[in-house]
Amino acid sequence: MKRFFIAALALIALAAASVSAQNLLDNDAYKKALQLRDQAQAAIAAGNYSQATQLSGQAEDYAKQALQIAQQLALAYRATNWLGLAKDRVAFASTLNAATRFPNAWTTAQAQLSTAQSDYDSKDYPNSITASQAVLAALQSLPASSQNGILPAEYTVRLLPEDRDSFWNIAKYPFVYGDPLKWPELYQANKQVLQDPNNPNLIQPGMVFTIPSINGEPRSGMWQPTGVAANDASPQIQLQSGTLPAQYTVRLLSEDRDSFWNIAKYPFVYGDPLKWPVLYRANKQVLQDPNNPNLIQPGMVFTIPSVNGETRSGMWQPPESSGK
């Protein structure tokens, strides 16, 4: 009985190699198996062999349950990674206007991604992995870059609401390396940009990272998110007077609240939300909490610094206003 119990625990340890140690320790069945094992060993030491046999049998049952849970965790971990890669690839394909340029591949990828997500939600991890892999296969022949066929040499860290930028996530983007495991390449090339060079987790929106070439691929320019024109040095909309504004009053909007991100995105400001740190640094003293860029209120007046030598003057007025 003890021999089979030890073998079961060895299988659990093997399955644990596919998941984190913390996940295994969170496995209640595994904890119970270890508890019963210790009790069985204590019973043997006390000479109570009948009780030891009973406890060992119970421990073996819990060990088998723990193995099943660990295997499911391993599958879930793999499915999560594959689904993430599939979503990233579809998102990248959308920047290529794949729906129009590659309709067959796009349709197949969309259908497989829907299947992968549905199977994942229902915890059918093997089929979810298969569908995610089918997404990547459908889109594998797409161009490597969405910007004139050239991969970018720089990337500006973004403030993302769903999944924050990190070296891991940035390396995963198809226009970077398409492989999160290559994150140390980015980290080593950009340590000097970090506030704490020894902490790769402490990166902030607005930081500009160099993307080193690792396979001889040519790289040039800054990556531009969808909807932001490359090399757009100046906004496209000006005031009635023909000059860009030097000040902006925070508004109370019904649909999408004003924020540094949204304000920087306005064409008469910078036309680029990634330039929000420029606004923030210029107006920290106006905030109630200078260390919290999210705490802005209607009525606050912000200065709009010139970033490309453009001339700025006066206060921006909404189209329906008649201010000077």
What is the extent of the structural domain holding 227?
A: 145-231
What residue spans of the chain are helical by DSSP H? 2-16, 21-25, 28-45, 49-95, 98-101, 103-121, 125-138, 167-172, 183-190, 260-265, 276-283
pLDDT in tens, 150-199: 678 898 887 665 567 889 989 888 788 878 888 999 999 999 888 888 98
What DSSP string describes 146-188? SSTT-B-SEEE----SSS---HHHHHHSTTTTS-GGGHHHHHH
Last-in-domain residue among 179, 213, 231:
231
Task: State the virtual CA torsion across 303, 277, 155, 91 in degrees, nearest 10.
Answer: -90
**For the whole prediction, is pTM greater than 0.75?**
no
Q: How confident is the model at residue 209 (pLDDT cuts 50, 70, 90)?
A: very high
How far, CA to CA in Å, does 274 sit from each of 126, 157, 271, 284, 295? 39, 8, 9, 17, 18
Residue 171 lies in a domain: yes
Whether residue 304 is found in the same domain as residue 246: yes
Highest averaged pLDDT of the listed ranges 28-37, 178-187, 290-299: 178-187
Residue 268 lies in a domain: yes
Whether residue 262 is found in the same domain as residue 307: yes
pLDDT at 306: 87
pLDDT at 233: 33
Residue 302 lies in a domain: yes
Query: 234 or 210: which carries more pLDDT confidence?
Result: 210
- Number of domains the chain is built from: 3
Would the pLDDT of 47 be above 80? yes
Q: What is the DSSP letter of 284?
A: G
Query: Residue range 202-225: average pLDDT?
Result: 81
pLDDT at 175: 81
pLDDT at 6: 52
Residue 248 lies in a domain: yes
Whether residue 315 is found in the same domain as residue 263: yes
Whether residue 236 is found in the same domain as residue 211: no
Query: 210 or 295: which carries more pLDDT confidence?
Result: 210
Give bridge partners of residue 249 from the DSSP assignment.
Answer: 301
Residue 216 lies in a domain: yes
Contacts of 318 by beta carbon, 8 Å cutoff, 6+ apart: 251
Task: Using a pLDDT cut of 90, give the percent of the chain over it.
Answer: 16
Whether residue 245 is found in the same domain as residue 313: yes
pLDDT in tens, 237-290: 333 345 688 999 888 765 567 888 888 888 888 877 788 888 988 998 888 888
Query: 216 or 282: which carries more pLDDT confidence?
Result: 282
pLDDT at 163: 62
Residue 104 lies in a domain: no
pLDDT at 117: 93
Residue 113 lies in a domain: no
Whether residue 44 is found in the same domain as residue 31: yes
Would the pLDDT of 226 be above 60? no
pLDDT in tens, 63-96: 778 777 777 777 887 888 888 888 888 887 887 7
Question: What is the CATH number for 303?
Answer: 3.10.350
Residue 120 lies in a domain: no
Whether residue 213 is found in the same domain as residue 238: no
Last-in-domain residue among 182, 197, 231:
231
Last-in-domain residue among 175, 210, 231:
231
Whether residue 16 is found in the same domain as residue 64: yes
- Average pLDDT, rounded, for the chain: 77
